[in-house]
C-alpha cells in the first residue's frame, strides 16, 4: 500500500476524521504524484491524484464550515 493510499483511504471511507495534519500530508503527496505523471508524459495518469487533492480540499473546507 502506498503512503498516499494508507493516509487517504480511511479519510475518504469515513473511517477516520480529517485532521488538519492529514490534509497537509495528503494534498502534497497527491500533487507530487500528479506532477510525476506529467513529467513522464502521461498527464492522464495524474488525473486521479489531482482528484484526490481536490477531494481532500473540499472535505477540509466542509470540516471548517
Q: Is the pLDDT of residue 63 over 90?
A: no
pTM summary value: 0.85
Taking only the tens place, the pLDDT of each residue in 14-52 is: 999 999 999 999 999 999 999 999 999 999 999 999 999
Place of cell 497537509: 24
C-alpha cell read off for 63:
470540516
Residue 65 pLDDT exceeds 70? no
Q: Is the per-residue pLDDT at 1 higher than 60? A: no
Whether residue 38 contacts residue 46, with contact meaning beta carbons closer than 8 Å, is answered with: yes
Amino acid at each position: 500500500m502506498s503512503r498516499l493510499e494508507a493516509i487517504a483511504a480511511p479519510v475518504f471511507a469515513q473511517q477516520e476524521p480529517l485532521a488538519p495534519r492529514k490534509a497537509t500530508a495528503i494534498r502534497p503527496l497527491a500533487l507530487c504524484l500528479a506532477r510525476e505523471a506529467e513529467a513522464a508524459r502521461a498527464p492522464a495518469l495524474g488525473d486521479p491524484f489531482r482528484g484526490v487533492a481536490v477531494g481532500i480540499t473540499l472535505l477540509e473546507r466542509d470540516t471548517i464550515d
